[in-house]
Structure 1
Amino acid sequence: MMSTPYLKNIEHEKILDLCALVEYSEGQVVSRTLAQNSAVSITLFAFDEGEEISSHSSTGDAMLSVLDGTAKITIGGEVYSLSSGETIVMPAGIPHAVAAEKRFKMQLTVVFPQN
């Protein structure tokens, strides 16, 4: 008997290349949600060069892992440059923004507070 999967839009019991699961699109930010509930959100993103997500904050801690390319991440006014294989945590309640210096892909995992 199969249970309802907690992870969606992704094959189970198969070795996967996360970069291959989200494609670049000219002039766009493309996303693919893998999990979304009150506790956690996991999303893959592909940013075309020059695209960005403007400053905002979240109620959860957000862990951004660069899968391909380079990105400029701003957290509370401090700017960080990340490249493939690097990860940074954007703390809950602190304004942050994500910008593509060149095309890049990332995995974003947000862990939300539980009451």
Structure 2
Amino acid sequence: MARPTELSTSLAFTGLLESLPVTSSSTTSRVVVNNPALRVVVFAFDEGELLTEHSSPRAVVVHLLDGAIRFTVGDDEHTMAPGDVLYLAPGERHALVADAPSRLSLVMVDVDETAAAPAGAD
């Protein structure tokens, strides 16, 4: 488990892509931020590596930094290129396959009951 990141402390992480190379036949990750509000993880996938279907209780934003992946959300497959962003609602089933050596940033945000209510709901 990564050391908690204080909500009240700003910080910068530089050189992340250089410090997390794609490793042959592997999936690796590094937790960058970890606090009660959010968690940021950078992943590196070699070509052919995958994450099997799973879900998260948190809202998730995926940003492909380099490479190419096929990201499945429910029954829909999305071919992602560098710069593409995908949003997952809490509890959404998802999986991915790397079609090339790839790195992505994953931001998981805790959503409380009030924030999850539809606009205009009281």
Q: Same fold (TM over 0.5)?
A: yes
TM-score, normalization by structure 2? 0.78
Give the share of equivalent positions with the same residue, in percent: 26
2:20 alignment partner, one of 1, 19, 22: 22
TM-score, normalization by structure 1? 0.83
- Amino acid paired to 1:64: V
Q: How does 1:1-115 map to 2 (within 5 A)?
A: 6=5, 12=11, 16-114=14-112
Cα RMSD of the aligned pairs, angstroms, is 2.1
Q: Highest CA radius of gyration, 1 or 2?
A: 2
Q: Cα distance 1:34–1:78, how it changes in 2: closer, same or farther (>3 A)? A: same
Alignment check: 8 A CA contact 2:41 2:107 kept = yes
Alignment check: 8 A CA contact 1:55 1:96 kept = yes
Unaligned runs of 5+ in 2: 114-122
Aligned mates of 1:44, 1:73 — CA distance in 2: 16
| Residue 5 (structure 1) shift | 7.8
SS of equivalent to 1:99: strand
Q: Cα distance 1:111–1:50, how it changes in 2: closer, same or farther (>3 A)? A: same
Aligned mates of 1:63, 1:36 — CA distance in 2: 15
Between structures 1 and 2, the one with greater strand share: 1
| Residue 39 (structure 1) shift | 2.1
Unaligned runs of 5+ in 1: none
Alignment check: 8 A CA contact 1:46 1:103 kept = yes
Aligned mates of 2:56, 2:4 — CA distance in 1: 25
SS of equivalent to 2:17: helix
| Residue 36 (structure 1) shift | 2.0
Aligned length: 107
